[in-house]
Structure 1
Amino acid sequence: MPAQWSEIAGWGDDDQLAAFNTFRTSCRPIVAQRTAPADSKPLGSSLREPCRAARAAEISDAAQARNFFERHFVPLQISKIGDSDGFVTGYYEPVIDGSRTPSDVYNVPVYKRPSNLFVRGVKQSASGLPNKGQVFRKIGRRKLVPYYDRAEIEDGAIAGRGLEICWLKSQTDLLFTQIQGSARVKLEDGSTVRINYDAHNGYPYTPVGRVLIDRGIVPKEQMSMQKIRQWMDENPDGAKELRRQNRSYVFFREVNLSDKDEAVGAQGVALTPGRSIAVDKALHVYGTPFFIEGALPIESEQSATPFRRLMVAQDTGSAIVGPARADLYFGAGAEAGQISGRLRHPARFVLLLPNSLDPRMHAHTMLLPAERPSAKIAKLFPPKELAKEAAPSGKAEAKPGEAGSDASSKPQPTATSAAAVVPLPEARPQMHAPQRRHPHRRHHHRRVHRVR
C-alpha cells in the first residue's frame, strides 16, 4: 500500500546517513552489473538508477541522506495478506574457541563442502550454493541420491576425507554456527579463522526451538537462543536427539577476513551491524531499503525499545520466508548474540520502491481490461424486451405455505430475475441425409484383431 513519508513513524528521527552508507555498499555490485539481473523481479534492474545517483552523490549528514531517499524512492507498506505487521528475528556472528587439530577438547569437525555434493543447474565450482532446494550425492557415474542428513554426518558419513577446516568443542557450538551462517573461530595460538556459509545438504531447516515449544519443554513466550543452549547443555543425550530433528546441515568455506572486518552476506558485501537484514531472496532483491518499526527487546528481555530504522537487504536465510520477514544483523560477539537470541517479534515494514516503479506515476499508461462480453450481449437483448417475454401469464404467485407451494422448492423466477438472463437459442434439429446406395461398389469387411 503506498504511503506518505510523513505517515511513517520515526522516519524523521532516524540516522539515514548510516543507512545511506550501507545502501552505497550494496550499490557496488549492482552498478557493476553489465547485464540485467537473471531473475524476473522488476526491482532488480530498477535499483540501478538510484544506485548510480548514490555512488555519485556527496552526502555528509542525515538530512541530506533522508532527502536522497525521498527523492529517489516511494514508501510502500508491505505485509502478508491478512496481517498488518511483519515479523523480525535477529542474527549475529558467533565468536567461538577452536583448533586446527583434533583433540579430546576439540573433537567436533567443521566441514567444508564435499566434492560429491551436487545441485542441479549449479556448477560445482560456484561459490556459495543456494540455501534451499534439493542436493544430491553421486554414486558411481550417473546415480544421484539425496545427500546425507545431519544424523548420518554426525555419525561419520564423510569423516576422514580431509574436509575439516577446524575443530570445535561441542556439537552445540557447531549447530549455532550453522544457524547463524558464519563465525570467528579463535585458535589456541591467538589467531582467528573466519568461516562463512558455502552449501547445505538439501534438507529443510527445522527450528529446534519450535520442537522444544511443541513438546512443552520451554514456553513460547520464554523461548530464546539462550534457553535452547541452556537446555542442551543440561541435557546432552536429549540435545543429540533434538539436533537430529533438524536434518539440515551446513558446510562452510574459509574466508580471508581480518578481525576488524564484518561478516559477508549473501550479496557478497560486508554486513553493517544494525543496518543489514536478511530477507526472502525468492521475493526481494539485495540492495532494497526497508524501514522497520516496532518495539523490540534490545536493552533487556523485558524491554520494549523503540526500533525505527532504515535497513538494507544484503543477506538471506532458509528460515526467512515471506514478504514482511527479516533477520536483523547485530554484529559479532556475545552481546550481539544475546540481543539476537531474544528477538522474535512483530514489526511494521515499509519497502522503499524506486521511482521508476511507482504505480502512481505509471497509472496513465496502464492498459484497462476489455469490455465485459455480457455488456455487449446486453445491447443485443434489451432488458425491457426480455421482461415482456418473461411476464407472468396472469396466475397469482403462490406464497410459501399456501396451497400449491412447496417451502423446500426453489422460488420461481420473476420478471425481474428473468430480465437479467439471456435466453439460449434452441438447438437446431439434426438433419440426416438419406444414404445413397452404390450398386457397383463392392463392400469389403475388415476383420478386427484384438490385442490380448
Structure 2
Amino acid sequence: MLTPLLSRRTFADLAAWNGADHRDALAAFRRSAARFLAGAVDPGSLGIEPGAFLPAAEAARTASPDTARDFFETHFQPALLSPAEPGSRGFLTGYYEPEVEAALVPDARFRFPLYRPPADLVKVDDATRPEGLDAYFRFARQNEDGRLDEYPDRGQIEAGHLAGQGLEIAWLDSPVDAFFIHIQGSARLRLSDGRRLRVTYAAKTGHPFTAIGRILVEEGELTLAEADMDGIRTWLAAHPTRVRSLLDRNRSFIFFREAVVEDESLGPVAAAKVPLTPMASIAVDRLLHTFGTPIFIDAPSLVLGEAPFQRLMIAQDTGSAILGPARADIFVGSGEAAGRLAGRVRHPGDFTLLLPTALHERLGR
C-alpha cells in the first residue's frame, strides 16, 4: 500500500521542472534500470513497488539524453512526499568520495589503517537477532560457541581489538582522514607508486552513528553555523590531544572492500549496487525508499554552481544518518573540491517523487 505521505501533483506544479537539466538523472536512472529488469530491487515501506518501474527501465536502455525530459514525463507522474512530522520540510546534506594519499605497508608516516570486515562479523535480521541485541543492529559478533552479541565499537577497535588479524587494506597518515572516510563510506587512495585504489563500504559494527559536529555544538565548542566539515576539521587540528576521545564517541565503525577506479567521472558502487553519478545520485533511508526512484528536489536556498538546487535525482545509496522519508544526502563527487562543497550542504527542500504512472493512479487524490 502506498504511503499517505504521498499526494498527487502534475509536472505543471513543479515550477522549476521545465528549466532543469535532466540528462544526468537519465544516465543515473539507466544504471538502476538493469537492477529493475533483473528483479534485484527490494521495495521500501513507502509502498513503491519495483515491478512498476519495468516499462521505464526497458525504455531507458535506448532513451536519448536529448529527450531526457520527455522520457520522465512519458513514464512517470509526480507525487509530493511530505515529511513524517507535519508542518516540517525535507532536509538535505551532501557527501563525497575523499581522495587521500595512502600506503599498503605501514611506516612512520602511514600508521592509521582502513580495515576489511573481520571473520567474526555477521549480518543479523529479525529472525537471527539474539534477545537483548537492539533492533537497530544489522551486524553482530559471532563467538566461538556460535552465540551472537554486540561487536566491539570504534574505541575498542582503535585500541587494538583487530590487531594482528591482517585485515588492513591500506594505511593513512591521519586519523581524521580515516574517520571522515568512514563518514563518507568510500575513498580513492593514491599510492606512492602511482596506482589508485578505491575502497568502498563493506560492513559496519552496527552501533548507531553519532555526529561529532552535533557534540561540538551541544558542548559549546562550535556554533551551528561553524559545524560544517571545514569547521570540524579546523577544531580537530587545533585540539590534537582531544581528537581520539571525540572520534571514539561515534561508536559506529565501518569496514571496507577494495575496488578499482574504472570510470573517473563516476563515484563508487553504492548500496543500490550501481556507481554513483555526481549531482544526480542521492542517499535515502533504505527502509522507506525503493532504490532507483527518481526524486525531484527543490531547495532554492541551496546554491550550487551559482544556481538554486532544483534537480532530478535518483535514489541509489543510503547512510546511517539518513533517516525519514523527506531526507537525502546528495552525492557531490570525488576529491577535495567536492568535499568542500558537500560540507556546506545543510538545507531544507521539497521532495517530489516521480512514480510510474500505474502507481500514481492509485493515489486517487
Corresponding position of 2:131: none
Alpha-carbon separation, structure 2, partners of 1:21 and 1:120: 34
| Alpha-carbon distance, 1:74 to partner | 1.2
Structure 1 CA distance for aligned equivalents of residues 292 and 139 of structure 2? 28
User: Equivalents in 2 of 1:292, 1:120: separation in Å?
Assistant: 34
Q: Which amino acid aligns with 1:341?
A: G
Query: Partner residue of 1:235?
Result: 239
1:172 aligns with 2:176: yes
What does the per-residue CA deviation read over 1:100-133, in whole Å, with 9 as the maximum and x for residues that have no partner?
00111000011100001122259xxxxxxxxx62
Q: Quick check: 2:97–2:184 contact (8 Å CA) kept in 1?
A: yes
What residue in structure 2 maps to residue 87 of structure 1? 91
Contact 2:91 2:347 survives alignment (8 Å): yes
Matched residues in 2 for 1:58 and 1:288: separation?
17
User: Larger % of strand: which?
Assistant: 2
Q: For 1:270-315, what per-residue CA distance to the aligned partner results, in whole angstroms no more than 9, with x for missing partners?
A: 111110101110110111000011121435xxx8x41111110111
What residue number does 2:347 align with? 345
Separation (CA, whole Å) in 2 of partners of 1:287 and 1:270:
12
Quick one: structure 1 residues 16 and 76, their matched pair in 2 at CA, closer, same or farther if it must change by over 3 Å?
same
8 A Cα contact 1:9 1:308, kept in partner: no
Structure 2 residue matching 1:133: 3-state secondary structure: coil
Partner of 1:278: 283
The question of whether the paired residues in 1 share the 8 Å contact of 2:44 and 2:290 is answered with no
Distance 1:134 1:60 in 2: 39
User: Which residue identity lines up with residue 108 of structure 2 in the other structure?
Assistant: D
Q: How has the CA–CA distance of structure 1 residues 200 and 60 changed in structure 2, closer, same or farther, with 3 Å as cutoff?
A: closer
Match of 2:153?
149
Does residue 1:185 correspond to 2:189, yes or no? yes
- Equivalent in the alignment of 2:18: 12
1:191-211 C-alpha deviation (Å, 9 max, x unpaired): 111100000001000011100
Q: 1:66: which partner in 2?
A: 69
- SS of aligned partner of 1:47: helix
Percent identical: 41
Rounded Cα–Cα distance in structure 1 between residues aligned with 2:246 and 2:141: 25
The alignment's C-alpha RMSD in Å is: 2.0
Q: Which of 290, 299, 313 in structure 1 is aligned with 2:295?
A: 290
Partners of 1:291 and 1:351 within 8 A in 2? yes
Partner of 1:2 in structure 2? 8
C-alpha separation in 2, matches of 1:60 and 1:340: 26
Q: Give the deviation of 1:52 after TM superposition.
A: 1.6
Give yes or no for the alignment of 1:31 onto 2:37: yes
- Pair 110,58 (structure 1): closer, same or farther in 2 beyond 3 Å: closer
| Paired letter, 1:48 | L
Return the structure number with greater relative CO, CA threshold 8 A, min gap 6. 2
Distance 1:283 1:39, change over 3 A: closer
Q: Which moved more, 1:240-249 or 1:17-26?
A: 17-26
Q: Is the 8 A contact 2:125 2:138 kept in 1?
A: no
- Structure 1 unaligned runs (5+)? 123-131, 364-452
The CA deviation at 1:174 is 0.7
Cα 1:135–1:21, aligned 2, differ >3 Å: closer, same or farther? closer
Q: Among 211, 215, 220, which residue is 2:215 paired with?
A: 211
Correspondence for 1:54? 60
Q: Deviations over 1:290-344 (max 9, x none)?
A: 0011121435xxx8x4111111011111110111110001110111000000111
Change (3 A) 1:290 1:361: closer
For these two proteins, the number of residue pairs brought into alignment is: 346
Tell me, in whole angstroms, the C-alpha distance in 2 between the residues paired with 1:342 and 1:185. Answer: 24
C-alpha distance after superposition, 1:406-430 (max 9, x if no partner): xxxxxxxxxxxxxxxxxxxxxxxxx
Unpaired runs of at least 5, structure 2: 1-6, 127-135
1:263 equivalent in alignment to 2:263: no
Tell me if structure 2 keeps the 8 A contact 1:84–1:348. no
Q: Deviations over 1:43-75 (max 9, x none)?
A: 2221122212222x44241xx221221121111
TM-score by length of 2: 0.90
Higher mean displacement: 68-77 or 40-49: 40-49
Tell me the distance in 1 between the aligned counterparts of 2:214 and 2:352. 28
Letter in 1 for 2:177: D
Tell which structure's C-alpha radius of gyration is larger: 1
What residue number does 1:105 align with? Answer: 109
Question: CA contact under 8 A between 1:297 and 1:339: conserved in structure 2?
Answer: no
CA distance in 2, matches of 1:33, 1:147: 33
Q: CA deviation at 1:29?
A: 1.3
- The equivalent residue for 2:4 is none
